Amino acid sequence: MIETIIISIMGVLVVILGFTTFNLLKKNEKQEDILMGYLEYLDTLSKVIEASDKKLKEIDHSGVFKADDEVGQFFESVKEIQNILNDFKVTRLK
């Protein structure tokens, strides 16, 4: 009699623990998918920042823009913004 009750209780516990484990596994996989989406977005954003920095350096290399006129001052402001953006480049660990 006692053995039947213990086996029944353990059977119910196995079912409950199996369900919770499966539920947590599904939630974990969903979070991993979301995280991968964020990492891909950050990787793309980092590539855009790098391309912008490269293009800005190409333009600045010729020295066309002088800081003494309005266009030159604006260009200097754009370069300062680019320097700030360069701090946000992401290096992925593989």
Buried b (16+ CB within 10 A) or exposed e, 32-45: eeeeeeeeeeeeee
pLDDT digits (tens, 9 = 90+) for 39-94: 899 888 888 888 888 888 888 777 666 666 777 778 888 888 888 888 877 666 55
Question: What pLDDT score does 68 carry?
Answer: 65
CB of 90 within 8 A of CB of 42? yes
